[in-house]
A and B are shown apart, each in its own frame.
Chain A
Amino acid sequence: MQKRPTSVAIMFATMLFGGLLGTQPAEAFMAYVSNEKDNTVTVVDTATGAVVKTLPVGQRPRGITISHDGRFIYLCASDDDTIEVIDTETLQIVDTLPSGPDPELFVLSPDGKTLYVANEDDNLVTVIDIESRDVLAEIPVGVEPEGMGISPDGKTMVNTSETTNMAHFIDTDSHEITHNVLVDARPRFAEFKPDGSEVWVSAEIGGTVSVIDNASREVKQKITFEIAGLRSEAIQPVGVRITADGKKAYVALGPANRVAVVDTATYKVEKYVLVGQRVWQLAFTPDQKTIISTNGVSNDITFIDVASDEPVQSVTVGAMPWGVVVSPK
Chain B
Amino acid sequence: MPEPEVSEVRLGYIRAYAPQLALSILDVPPRDEGVAGASVAISDNNTTGRFLGQKFSLDVVEVKPDSDVLAVFDVMVGKGISTILADLSAVQLLALADTAQAEGIIVFNVGATDDRLREEDCRANVFHTAPTRSMLADGLAQYLIWKQWRRWALVYGSHERDRLFADALRRAAERFGAEIVAEKEFTDTGTARRTDSGVVQIQRQMPVFTQGLAEHDVLLVADESEVFGTYVPFRTWQPRPVAGTAGLMPSAWHPASEQWGGTQIQNRFLKATGRRMLSKDMSAWTAARIIGEAATRTRSADPAEIAAFIRSDDFSIAAFKGQKLTFRRWNWQLRQPIFIGDGRSVVSTSPQEGFLHQFSELDTLGIDRPETKCVLK
| A165 lies within 8 A of B296 (CB) | yes
Cα distance A142–B297 in the bound complex, in angstroms: 15
Cα distance A255–B291 in the bound complex, in angstroms: 29
Q: Please, which residues of chain B bring their CB within 8 A of the CB of A163?
A: 44, 48, 264, 289, 318
Cα distance A205–B320 in the bound complex, in angstroms: 10
| A166 lies within 8 A of B51 (CB) | yes
| A121 lies within 8 A of B324 (CB) | no
Query: CB of B52 within 8 A of chain A?
Result: yes
Query: CB of B261 within 8 A of chain A?
Result: yes
| B51 lies within 8 A of A180 (CB) | yes
| A123 lies within 8 A of B323 (CB) | no
Residues of A in contact, count (CB < 8 Å)? 29
**Interface Cβ pair total, 8 Å cutoff:** 65
Q: How far is the CB of A304 from chain B (nearest CB, A)?
A: 26
Q: Please, which residues of chain B bring their CB within 8 A of the CB of A95?
A: none
| B267 lies within 8 A of A142 (CB) | no
Q: How far is the CB of B353 from chain A (nearest CB, A)?
A: 11
Q: Using an 8 Å CB-CB cutoff, how does the interface string of B316-351 with A read, 1 for contact, 0 for none?
A: 111000011000000000000000000000000000
Cα distance A176–B289 in the bound complex, in angstroms: 26
Q: Please, which residues of chain B bring their CB within 8 A of the CB of A168?
A: 51
Known: A121-B267, A144-B264. A205 touches B323 (CB 8 A): yes
Contact of A178 among B1, B267, B361 (CB under 8 A): B1
Q: Please, which residues of chain B bring their CB within 8 A of the CB of A206?
A: 316, 324
Cα distance A121–B323 in the bound complex, in angstroms: 21
| A205 lies within 8 A of B48 (CB) | no
Q: Please, which residues of chain B bring their CB within 8 A of the CB of A219?
A: none
Query: CB of A3 within 8 A of chain B?
Result: no
| B361 lies within 8 A of A143 (CB) | no
Cα distance A66–B297 in the bound complex, in angstroms: 37
Q: Using an 8 Å CB-CB cutoff, how does the interface string of A231-265 with B read, 1 for contact, 0 for none?
A: 10110100000000000000000000000000000
| B44 lies within 8 A of A185 (CB) | no
Query: CB of B47 within 8 A of chain A?
Result: yes
Q: Please, which residues of chain A bring their CB within 8 A of the CB of B48?
A: 142-143, 161, 163-166
Q: Please, which residues of chain A bring their CB within 8 A of the CB of B44?
A: 143, 163-164
Cα distance A236–B360 in the bound complex, in angstroms: 16
| B268 lies within 8 A of A121 (CB) | yes
Known: A120-B264, A121-B267, A205-B323. A185 touches B318 (CB 8 A): yes
**Which of A168, A182, A234 has the most chain B CB atoms inside 10 A of its CB?**
A182
Q: How far is the CB of A165 from chain B (nearest CB, A)?
A: 7
Residues of B in contact, count (CB < 8 Å)? 22
Query: CB of A191 within 8 A of chain B?
Result: no
Q: How far is the CB of B37 from chain A (nearest CB, A)?
A: 14
Query: CB of A300 within 8 A of chain B?
Result: no
Q: Please, which residues of chain B bring their CB within 8 A of the CB of A161?
A: 48
Q: Which parts of B281-323 form the interface with A (CB within 8 Å)?
A: 289, 293, 296-297, 316-318, 323
Q: How far is the CB of B6 from chain A (nearest CB, A)?
A: 15
Residue of B nearest to A188 (CB): B261
Contact of A185 among B47, B52, B264, B316 (CB under 8 A): B316
Query: CB of A177 within 8 A of chain B?
Result: yes
Residue of B nearest to A181 (CB): B51
Residue of A nearest to B319 (CB): A205
Residue of B nearest to A144 (CB): B264
| A205 lies within 8 A of B318 (CB) | yes
Q: Using an 8 Å CB-CB cutoff, how does the interface string of B263-277 with A read, 1 for contact, 0 for none?
A: 010011001000000
| A143 lies within 8 A of B324 (CB) | no
**Which of B261, B267, B293, B316 has the most chain A CB atoms inside 10 A of its CB?**
B261
Q: Please, which residues of chain A bring their CB within 8 A of the CB of B1?
A: 176-179
Known: A164-B51, A166-B51, A233-B324. A182 touches B296 (CB 8 A): yes
Cα distance A144–B269 in the bound complex, in angstroms: 13
Cα distance A168–B264 in the bound complex, in angstroms: 19
Query: CB of A162 within 8 A of chain B?
Result: yes
Q: Please, which residues of chain B bring their CB within 8 A of the CB of A236?
A: 323
Q: Please, which residues of chain A bring their CB within 8 A of the CB of B267?
A: 102, 121
Query: CB of A193 within 8 A of chain B?
Result: no
Cα distance A168–B1 in the bound complex, in angstroms: 12
Residue of B nearest to A205 (CB): B318
Residue of A nearest to B324 (CB): A205
Cα distance A183–B154 in the bound complex, in angstroms: 48
Residue of A nearest to B52 (CB): A180
| A233 lies within 8 A of B323 (CB) | yes
Cα distance A164–B264 in the bound complex, in angstroms: 13
| A164 lies within 8 A of B47 (CB) | yes
Known: A205-B318, A231-B361. A143 touches B261 (CB 8 A): no
Q: Please, which residues of chain B bring their CB within 8 A of the CB of A233?
A: 323-324, 360-361
Q: Please, which residues of chain A bring their CB within 8 A of the CB of B52?
A: 180
Q: List 23 A-B contacts (CB under 8 A).
A: A121-B264, A123-B47, A142-B48, A144-B261, A144-B264, A162-B264, A163-B264, A163-B289, A164-B47, A164-B51, A164-B296, A165-B293, A165-B296, A176-B1, A178-B1, A182-B297, A186-B318, A205-B324, A206-B324, A207-B324, A231-B360, A231-B361, A233-B324
Given contacts A144-B264, A165-B293, A168-B51, 6 further A-B contacts (CB under 8 A): A102-B267, A123-B47, A177-B51, A182-B297, A185-B324, A206-B324
A residues whose Cβ falls under 8 Å from a Cβ of B: 102, 120-121, 123, 142-144, 161-166, 168, 176-180, 182, 185-186, 205-207, 231, 233-234, 236
Nearest 5 Cβ contacts at the A-B interface: A233-B323, A164-B48, A205-B318, A180-B51, A185-B318
